[in-house]
Amino acid sequence: MDNSVDKCITWGIFARKCVVFCRIVLKKAGWGVEMLFVLNSRKLFVVLALLCALQLTLTVYLYFSSSGNVTSLLDYTVVIDAGHGGVDAGVTGVNGTKESHLNLVYSKQLGQLFSQCGFNVVYTRTDENGLYGLPTQGFKMRDMNKRMEIINESEADIVISVHMNKYSSDYRTGAQVFYQKGSENGQLLAGSIQQYVNRLNSRNLESLSGDYFITRESSCVAVIVECGFLSNASEEEKLNSTQHQQQLTNAIFCGVMMYLYSL
Ligand SMILES: [Zn+2]
């Protein structure tokens, strides 16, 4: 990613209102600091402006003091894949929430965080419709193939597929991340996101491997984030709250950032 960097120290602050990343980069040519800020409060706008100015100054310094080519994180393309859509509503909550709708809500918020940081963001869908054309026989396969076409044509670096979970019994709760079995980077990315979403889970869950169409067929690292269980009434309510939507998308974003910085 950044071959002029000899050593870097990274940390992230994850709070309800803001996400702050700071990376101190130690190089042969000197040192610099790269920072990324995502703030979700207007009150913090002044702080954001000041910090952005600092970030810009230091990033410019870092760029010009570098002997090699610096590849910025901002060159990355992230595909946000809101699962299901149209006649395929996915799972339905105990109180009637449609998975396909919530997937779209979370996907848009997550995409916004990446856009704010300058990433190239590609969505597989931005409305409630599916990607299959007419809902005739074979629509599910056409829908999945269309998603793959978007992912592979975008030359994505990372794919995050957003879903909601369901279980036959109502006791299961929590967000969980899935990756393609055998994918080293998939495991790293899923583990990093899991670490952050666990802060919102009532107990620590582990990221799990499996064999899924989207993670197997994507030409780049891909994970599925199951944001929570619609089969649990209180989790269904939580998943519908704007506060939780903000917290969970922040957590997913943090997990991806920490993964990218660890490469
Ligand atoms: Zn789903």
**Which of the 8 DSSP states describes residue 231?**
T
Residue 100 C-alpha to ligand 1 middle, in angstroms? 7
Instruction: Give the per-residue pLDDT at 108.
Output: 98
Chain mean position to CA 133: 27
pLDDT band at 6 (very low <50, low <70, confident <90, very high): very low
Residue 86 C-alpha to ligand 1 middle, in angstroms? 13
- The answer to whether the beta carbons of residues 177 and 200 sit under 8 Å apart is no
Residue 218 C-alpha to ligand 1 middle, in angstroms? 17
pTM: 0.80
Nearest-angstrom CA–CA distance, 161 and 223:
6
How many Cβ atoms sit within 10 Å of the Cβ of residue 137? 8
CATH architecture of 74-262: 3-Layer(aba) Sandwich (3.40)
Q: Average per-residue pLDDT in the chain?
A: 84
DSSP string covering 138-172: THHHHHHHHHHHHHHHTT-SEEEEEEEE--SSTT-
Q: For ligand 1, an ion, list residues with CB under 5 A.
A: 83, 90, 163
Residue 26 C-alpha to ligand 1 middle, in angstroms? 43
Residue 23 C-alpha to ligand 1 middle, in angstroms? 35
Instruction: Tell me the per-residue pLDDT of 113-163, one tens digit each, with 9 for 90 and over.
Output: 999 888 999 999 999 999 998 889 999 999 999 999 999 999 999 999 999
Closest CA to 149 of 218, 103, 235, 233: 218
Lookup result for tokens 């990613």: 1
Lookup result for tokens 């829908």: 143
Helices vs strands, H then E, count in the chain: 7, 9
Tokens of 48: 């954001």
Residue 107 C-alpha to ligand 1 middle, in angstroms? 13
Between 166 and 55, whose confidence is greater?
A: 166
Instruction: Give the per-residue pLDDT at 118.
Output: 82
Instruction: Tell me the per-residue pLDDT of 224-255, one tens digit each, with 9 for 90 and over.
Output: 999 999 999 999 999 999 999 999 999 999 99
Q: Where are the domains of the chain?
A: 7-71, 74-262
3 pLDDT higher than 50: no
Instruction: Give the per-residue pLDDT at 57.
Output: 61
Residue 128 C-alpha to ligand 1 middle, in angstroms? 14
Instruction: Tell me the per-residue pLDDT of 52-83, one tens digit each, with 9 for 90 and over.
Output: 666 666 565 555 555 444 455 667 999 999 99
Tokens of 84: 């299901």
Contacts 24+ apart (CB under 8 A), 60-69: 61/32, 62/25, 62/32, 62/33, 62/34, 65/27, 65/29, 65/30, 65/32, 66/4, 66/27, 66/29, 67/4, 67/28, 67/29, 68/3, 68/4, 69/3, 69/4
Residue 44 C-alpha to ligand 1 middle, in angstroms? 35
